């Protein structure tokens, strides 16, 4: 068996894995990376027409938005996914097209290729935990992964050789149900959710799994969701005590609904202003109860009836709602603040000179939210402040458990978000492949990338970021700041678990400034979760994915110290022989 990474390992985004065994070829996911003009998988056009099946784990863009490229390259087969995923995809295609257009770029496929995608519904062909024959040589089994309604993990049995693909996985959702594959009777284990209820187990786990591809997006982060929510509650309480508006940019599906339900229950007397797209997703969830915890339907129904929840769609509605309540929680799409709506809310806070933005998920390079954080950090340094040990500077990479970032933001109204990226890459996809043996025993392609990212935000000086592998993060205090982002055993500058103990005043704005916080809400796996999955899904070899190369290396190093073996940290273009 051979597994080739077309994207998604050593990076967060463009998930895409080719599995080949005895003449059968299967593709797992085909996503994009939201950076620059858009990053796409390293698809081999000569193999696309030879694929026997394509499987899509869920709708998020980093797993799905490159699927039409397969049809543009000649694929004529089906894409196996869930009905819930197919219903969500049109919104993601629309958003991706808008993003690409905003970068003055072109899609590598046309509308006809989006329409050509032939979906087959795995959840209608077989129940969770049941084996389904796709071809005489290929059968599959699926279960719910807890990441998003419709998101699944997969077991693939190809001529007797078995691959486990976790997709994006979490057991800590307060809204979504999750299934664990069963182990053989002599070695049966179950994990528990935070509330103590045992996770439901489904499929009989084959005795021999040759390869597991496992979500390790959060790197060395070992903090539980409950701890993160406790910190988030303190952050919000602090802002509300000052009668400030709190802005939470979230994705349309998934994390947005999780946080909305939590916020309604944690702050029952506070007005929630919610963009229509985010609120509408609840209606869809109620039509798909099989993806939810048993109690989730009642929680959603109570949310939809709550008179303190104000759903807005137009500019006039936003203006009325925000004028009526000085102290409120605002939920807008999208999580990286690329949308005009999220930037409208930020501008409102900036004009007021006070308020709070809390970022809770992955921030792609060059996104509005990521630039706000970097510009804030640069302004802090220009003001002569020194970063405390309680503040993490690694914003874009997978952070450790102590990943809070808190700064005060005061910026220009006219934000010129220009990004100059010079990248030199040898990704080794062709015959001139330069290979070396990495620390985890695999043959890996040398990928040399030099990135000089110049970001201009109004009156701010530009910041330049070099990503390199070093033991520590160092930050200069010049006007033009240079940050070495590295990931070792601990990616943050801190071993102190603090959410917002350090709040800096930027450019003399005093207490009247927009505060920017980063506090992760878990929808992926960190170190402790990966360790638990390895205990349940025993396989000959394991490829850890969905985090930077440095973060993945750190997880592999720690797990090897814990006694686990045959772990792989790879990058796009690499291949494993199983």
pLDDT digits (tens, 9 = 90+) for 424-457: 333 333 333 333 334 343 434 434 333 333 333 3
Dist. CA 139–CA 448, nearest whole Å: 38
Average pLDDT, the chain: 79
Domain ranges of the chain: 2-221+523-577, 225-414+455-518
pLDDT (0 to 100) of residue 234: 97
377: its two tokens: 């950090």
Instruction: State what percent of residues in the chain have pLDDT above 70.
Output: 72
Per DSSP, the three-state class of 177 is coil
Contact 206, 162 (CB under 8 A): yes
Per-residue pLDDT reduced to its tens digit, 94-126: 999 999 999 999 999 999 999 999 999 999 999
Question: Model confidence at 334, in pLDDT bands (50, 70, 90)?
Answer: confident
What are the C-alpha distances in Å from 299 to residues 174, 296, 411, 488, 577?
Answer: 10, 5, 39, 41, 47
Predicted local confidence at residue 360, as pLDDT? 95
Q: What is the DSSP string of 419-473?
A: EE---------SSS--EEE-TTS-EEE--------EEE-TTSPPEEEEE---SS-
Q: How far apart are CA 45 and CA 33, in angstroms?
A: 19
pLDDT digits (tens, 9 = 90+) for 513-569: 888 999 999 999 999 999 999 998 989 999 999 999 999 999 999 999 999 999 999
Q: How far apart are CA 158 and CA 433, in angstroms?
A: 28
Size of the chain, expressed as the number of residues it contains: 578
Measured distance CA(526)–CA(547) in Å, rounded: 10
pLDDT of residue 550: 98
What's the 3-state SS for 193-214?
CCCCCECEEEEECCCCEEEEEE
Distances from the Cα of 267 to the Cαs of 259, 260, 322, in angstroms? 12, 10, 17
Read off the pLDDT of residues 140-190 as tens digits, 9 standing for 90 and up: 999 999 999 999 999 999 999 999 999 999 999 999 999 987 643 433 334
What is the per-residue pLDDT across 262-319, written as a single tens digit (0 to 9) for each? 999 999 999 999 999 999 999 989 999 999 999 999 999 999 999 999 999 999 999 9
The CATH number of 225-414+455-518 is 3.40.50.10890
Pinpoint the alpha helices (H) of 310-452: 315-324, 340-352, 368-382
Q: Does 191 score more than 50 pLDDT?
A: no
Taking only the tens place, the pLDDT of each residue in 9-55 is: 999 999 999 999 999 999 999 999 998 889 999 999 999 999 999 99
The per-residue pLDDT for range 352-378, each reduced to its tens digit, is 999 999 999 999 888 999 988 777 666
| Rounded Cα–Cα distance for residues 181 and 536 (Å) | 8
Cα 80 from Cα 165, distance rounded (Å): 14
Interval 372-429: pLDDT, tens: 877 766 665 555 443 332 333 333 333 333 344 444 444 433 333 333 333 333 333 3
206-256 pLDDT, tens digit each: 568 999 999 999 999 999 999 999 999 999 999 999 999 999 999 999 999
Q: What whole-number distance in Å separates Cα of residue 233 and Cα of residue 227?
A: 10
CATH class of 2-221+523-577: alpha beta
Residue 483 pLDDT > 60, yes or no?
A: no
pLDDT at residue 467 greater than cutoff 60: no
Q: How many CB atoms lie within 10 A of CB 280?
A: 15
Contacts of residue 143, Cβ cutoff 8 Å, sequence gap at least 6: 128, 129, 152, 153, 178, 179, 180, 181, 202, 203
Cis peptide before 348 (omega within 30 of 0): no
Structure token pair of residue 312 = 């807005």
Vertex 118: Cα angle to 115 and 124 (nearest 5): 130
Residue 362 in contact with residue 548, Cβ under 8 Å?
A: no
Three-state DSSP state, 53? strand
**Torsion angles phi and psi, residue 431, rounded to 5:** -75, -20
pLDDT score recorded for residue 169: 98
The rounded distance, in Å, linking the Cα atoms of 221 and 527 is 6
């Amino acid at each position: 068996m051979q597994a080739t990474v077309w994207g998604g390992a050593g990076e967060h985004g463009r998930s895409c894995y080719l599995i080949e065994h005895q003449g059968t070829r299967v593709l797992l996911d085909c996503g994009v990376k939201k950076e620059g003009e858009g990053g796409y998988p390293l698809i081999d056009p000569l193999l696309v027409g030879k694929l026997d099946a394509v499987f899509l784990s869920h709708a998020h863009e980093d797993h799905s938005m490159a699927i039409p490229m397969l049809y543009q390259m000649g694929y004529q087969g089906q894409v196996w996914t869930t009905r819930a995923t197919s219903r969500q995809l049109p919104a993601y295609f629309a958003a991706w097209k808008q993003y690409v257009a905003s970068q003055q770029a072109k899609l590598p496929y046309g509308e006809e290729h989006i329409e050509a995608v032939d979906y087959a519904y795995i959840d209608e062909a077989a129940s969770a935990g049941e084996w389904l024959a796709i071809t005489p040589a290929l059968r599959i089994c699926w279960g719910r992964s807890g990441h998003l309604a419709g998101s699944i993990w997969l077991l693939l049995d190809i001529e007797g050789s078995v691959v486990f693909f976790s997709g994006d996985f979490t057991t800590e959702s307060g809204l979504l149900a999750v299934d664990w594959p069963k182990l053989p009777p002599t070695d049966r284990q179950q994990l528990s959710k935070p509330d103590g209820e045992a996770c439901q187990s489904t499929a009989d786990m084959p005795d021999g799994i040759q390869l597991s591809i496992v979500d390790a997006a959060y790197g060395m982060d070992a903090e539980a969701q409950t701890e993160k929510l406790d910190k988030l509650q303190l952050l919000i309480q602090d802002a509300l005590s000052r009668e400030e508006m709190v802005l939470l940019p979230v994705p349309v599906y998934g994390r947005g609904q999780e946080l909305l339900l939590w916020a309604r229950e944690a702050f029952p007397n506070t007005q929630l202003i919610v963009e229509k797209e985010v609120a509408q997703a609840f209606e869809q969830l109620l039509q798909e109860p099989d993806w939810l915890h048993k109690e989730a339907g009642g929680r959603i129904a109570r949310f939809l009836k709550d008179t303190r929840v104000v759903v807005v769609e137009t500019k006039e509605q936003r203006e009325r709602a925000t004028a009526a309540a000085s102290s409120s929680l605002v939920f807008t799409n999208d999580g990286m603040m690329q949308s005009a709506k999220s930037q409208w809310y930020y501008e409102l806070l900036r004009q007021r000179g006070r308020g709070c933005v809390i970022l809770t998920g992955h921030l792609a390079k060059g996104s509005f939210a990521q630039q706000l954080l970097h510009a804030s950090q640069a302004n802090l340094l220009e003001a002569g402040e020194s970063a405390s040990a309680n503040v993490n500077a690694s914003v874009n990479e997978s952070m450790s458990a102590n990943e809070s970032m808190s700064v005060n933001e005061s910026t220009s109204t006219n934000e010129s978000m220009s990004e100059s990226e010079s990248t030199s890459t040898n990704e080794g996809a062709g015959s001139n492949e330069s290979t070396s043996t990495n620390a985890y025993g695999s043959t890996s392609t040398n990928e040399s990338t030099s990135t000089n990212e110049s970001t201009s935000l109004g009156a701010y000086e530009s910041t330049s970021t070099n990503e390199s592998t070093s033991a520590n993060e160092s930050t200069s205090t010049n006007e033009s700041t240079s940050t070495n982002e590295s990931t070792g055993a601990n990616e943050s500058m801190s071993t102190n678990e603090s959410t917002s103990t350090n709040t800096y005043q930027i450019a003399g704005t005093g207490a009247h400034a927009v505060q920017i916080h980063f506090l992760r809400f878990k929808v992926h796996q960190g170190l402790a979760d990966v360790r638990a999955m390895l205990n349940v899904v025993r396989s000959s070899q394991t490829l850890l994915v969905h985090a930077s190369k440095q973060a993945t290396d750190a997880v592999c190093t720690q797990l090897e110290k814990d006694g686990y073996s045959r772990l792989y940290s790879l990058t796009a273009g690499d291949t494993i022989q199983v």
